[in-house]
Structure 1
Amino acid sequence: MRAFLIGSTLLTALFAAVAVGRGAQPTPAQAETSCNASVVHYEQNRDAGQGLTELPWIAGGRGRQRIVGYLFYYPSVLGDRRANQERGVVIPTGGAVPGGANAKILWVPRGPSALSMLVTARQLDGPGAFRQRLHIASGGSYPSIITIPRAGCWQLTLRSGEAHATVVLQAIDAAPSGTCDATPIREEPNPALLSTIWIETIGASRPIYAVGSIHDGGSASEGATIATGGRKVMWVPSAPESVGLSLTVIGRRLDAVGIFRQQFPVAYAITPPVGPVFPSTIDIPTPGCWLLTVRGAKAAGIAVFGAVALTSN
């Protein structure tokens, strides 16, 4: 993969000037909630089987007791700010997501397991409790539709053979179908950026910042917006050692069918900002609500954009 060296004049012509302050800690997107829900990972799990590598996931336990849960339902809730602006996992009550699909989680133990898995659920902020028994499927995995009866903070204890893990889910009443809460635009000074208009990805790793065409055709209060047809966005990792030589952006439309994938090489400027940075032209094909999953070598996160078609004067 080629890495480009960019001078300050060219970099400024492409994007708003950005200076990367490597020693500062990022400001969280939101204050932590009272429910310490298990963190959702958007980076690829190196142990994922066929068909699972693109899915968000959570995990509990250590070593041979470890269990990973692949969140098949998660794109259906990521239009909701309670999911796309929090690092912790959320799940709709009742076992169904907006649009009527099931809230499916596939549990995959690392060590030896049994023919069934017992799920014992306890509400941490109320009196609720329930149990579910799951049956083994191909590859030693356990498909499930976790049906949580009421909103709240729920701890799930999973047991099967040597596998024994605990995860915490924030159960919510589902938002209306078609909800599109775009990633908030930040308009305050950022210790890592000179730009005062920026967004940050949400995920298990430290965030990746974005500046450039992130509020096309809308006000900052409406959240991130971008025009279709190719717009320039600069991605700036807050942890440069975690991104590698290229950045992958996967777009998935949340309110209709649509998907795209782009890859951008790292660039290093000879004057501040002193890389690595990732200049990109994000080519969203149609207006709508779009989830962008941004992945480097060891870092990943998401951002939600409202895509608009700009009209010429």
Structure 2
Amino acid sequence: MGSRGRMLLVSSVVLLAGCTSTASGGTAAPAATTATTTASTPAPCAARVETGSLPDWARTGFSGDARVPHVFSANGDIVAVLFAHPLRQVREDGSNNKILWVARADTTSPDPTAPATLVITARLDGTDTRVIREVAGGPGPSIIDLPQAGCWRLDLSWSGHTDTIDLVYAP
């Protein structure tokens, strides 16, 4: 192909999103999802609510096979257990957007100077809307209300660790 006929190729990126449980109900293993994107385009919202058993490392305080709606983070280091599903921008029934954040034990920093607070920087997909929420004491129970319906990308930071999770809030 000559210089006039050269084409500009856009590279694609394979993304991993979500997790699935093993057939025996053991620990979670990643499940691949493929998406095409360019280097300048952020990955699409990948909120994926699981309804199977929680992984072994996230079952403390639950009985039985612990089947509750939950969402895994991109790295699989933290899971959002959704006690209110779907999450809603406005909860007219008086309930809350209660989320239990459970981090893998090996993501808790032994460094006593690392902040224990879970800091959540939430961005509404496709907009410049950004809000910050904090969960005192680090991953644990919380009520996370966000100002608009839509898919939110949450950048999470706790005990010297970071991860990302996408959550959808209905109107």
**TM-score per shorter chain, which class?**
0.5 to 0.7
> 1:67·1:164 contact (CA, 8 Å) conserved in 2?
no
Conserved 8 A contact 2:108-2:159: yes
Q: CA offset at residue 35 of structure 1? A: 5.8
Pairing partner for 1:69 from 49, 66, 80: 80
Q: Give the distance between the partners of 2:139 and 2:47, measured in 1 at CA.
A: 20
- Write the deviation string for residues 143-172 of structure 1: whole angstroms up to 9, x where unpaired: 221111012221101100143111112222
Corresponding residue for 1:122? 123
Contact 2:151 2:167 survives alignment (8 Å): yes
8 Å Cα contact 1:93-1:150 kept in structure 2: yes
Rounded to whole Å, the distance in 2 between the matches of 1:158 and 1:40 is 18
Structure 2 matches for 1:24-103, cutoff 5 A?
Answer: 36-45=45-54, 46-47=56-57, 48-51=59-62, 53-62=66-75, 66-74=77-85, 77=86, 91-94=87-90, 96=91, 99-103=93-97
* 8 Å CA contact 2:117, 2:139 repeated in 1: no
Pairing of 1:1-313 with structure 2 (within 5 A)? 36-45=45-54, 46-47=56-57, 48-51=59-62, 53-62=66-75, 66-74=77-85, 77=86, 91-94=87-90, 96=91, 99-110=93-104, 111-113=107-109, 114-136=115-137, 141-173=139-171
Highest CA radius of gyration, 1 or 2? Answer: 1
How far, CA to CA, are the matches of 1:152 and 1:35 in structure 2?
12
For residues 121 and 141 of structure 1, what CA distance do their matches in structure 2 show? 16
Provide structure 1 residue ranges, at least 5 long, that are not aligned to the other structure.
1-33, 78-90, 174-313
Aligned-partner residue type, residue 48 of structure 2: V
TM-score, with structure 2 as normaliser: 0.61
Code of the aligned partner of 1:163: H
Q: CA deviation at 1:115?
A: 2.0
Q: Tell me, which stretches of 5 or more residues in structure 2 are unaligned?
A: 1-42, 110-114
Is this contact kept in 2: 1:126–1:152, CA < 8 A?
A: no
RMSD: 2.3
Letter in 2 for 1:149: P
Provide the rounded CA distance (Å) in 2 between the counterparts of 1:50 and 1:165. 23
CA distance in 1, matches of 2:52, 2:167: 19
C-alpha contact (below 8 Å) 1:119/1:132 kept by paired residues: yes
8 Å CA contact 1:118, 1:132 repeated in 2: yes
Q: Is residue 118–residue 133 contact of structure 1 (8 Å, CA) maintained in 2?
A: yes
Higher relative contact order (CA 8 A, sep 6+): 1
Quick check: 1:155–1:168 contact (8 Å CA) kept in 2?
yes
The amino acid of 1:93's aligned partner reads Q
SS in 2 for 1:154: strand
2:48 and 2:61 map into 1 onto residues whose CA distance is 23
* Greater share of residues in helix: 1
Distance, in Å, in 2 between the alignment partners of 1:124 and 1:61 is 16
Percent of residue pairs bearing the same amino acid type: 29
Aligned equivalents of 1:161, 1:170: Cα separation in 2: 25
